Amino acid sequence: MKKKLFWLGALLAGGAALVLLALVLRTYLGGRNTDVYAYLRDPSSHKDWEVQALSRCADAPFLIPTEGYIGYLWQDSFKLFHPHQGIDIFGGTQPGVTPVYAPYNGFLTREPGWKSSLIIRVPQDPLQPDRQVWIYLTHLADPAGTSLIDTHFPPGTSETPVKAGDLLGYQGNYSGDPSNPVGVHLHLSIVRDDGTGHYLNELNIKNTLDPSPYFNLQLNARAASNTPPLCAARGSSQPLP
Ligand SMILES: [Zn+2]
């Protein structure tokens, strides 16, 4: 009897270890990681993966805010037990080169301590006009934390009106740890309001919205294919007049 229990326990422990191993492998090696690494190694040979800044897919409310490859999507799992709360657009350039523009009209705030981040208040969600939403943009600094945000928006900026297409700054690779920079990209997430006029914590995916309908692109990792997100049909990406 004791022996049977031992083997049952061993089997369960082995099974759990296998599931965990599969999860770790999928998180760090699978999914979109391979493509992101391939793009970062040689962006010039993957130009067909890139979206164009200031374009929009068909009648999407939001403009594409920067040029590059949308490597990671909403709900992607490249960190264990921490689904990605937004999208990452990789410019394939050095920090400070690829411009970042406002995707929509709103009111821009940069908290006093923010080196690389901005948030835009959108009083009327274009998809649900009875609510307010926020567009959070980050990684606009170099590895040392030198900001790449346009000088119009110094730390402490509060409620400055911006129009869709306004220049906000440049893509960077600031991670908070100078010895471990991330690939140069823009992180964008759409953040819920707490109901009293403040944004909720962007780090929790429950406080963010699926960006797909705002860009008219499949940006939900659970629904997307493994091919880079691009406008549905050729020619449907219309630059601003
Ligand atoms: Zn991100």
Domains of the chain: 31-239 (2.70.70.10)
CA of 45 to the centre of ligand 1 (A): 23
CA of 150 to the centre of ligand 1 (A): 21
Amino acid 119 reads I
**Residues 193-222 pLDDT 10s:** 999 999 999 999 999 999 999 999 999 999
- pTM for the model stands at 0.87
Q: What rounded mean pLDDT belongs to the chain?
A: 91
Q: Cα–Cα distances in Å, from 103 out to 36, 81, 88, 108?
A: 23, 29, 14, 12
Indicate whether 46 pLDDT > 80. yes
Contact 71, 185 (CB under 8 A): yes
Distance CA 137, CA 181 (A): 17
Indicate whether 192 pLDDT > 60. yes
Residue that the structure tokens 């067909």 belong to:
48
Name residues with Cβ closer than 5 Å to ligand 1, which is an ion.
Answer: 88, 187
CA of 69 to the centre of ligand 1 (A): 13
Helix segments in the chain, DSSP class H: 2-28, 33-41, 212-215
> What is the DSSP secondary structure assignment for residue 64, as one 8-state letter?
P
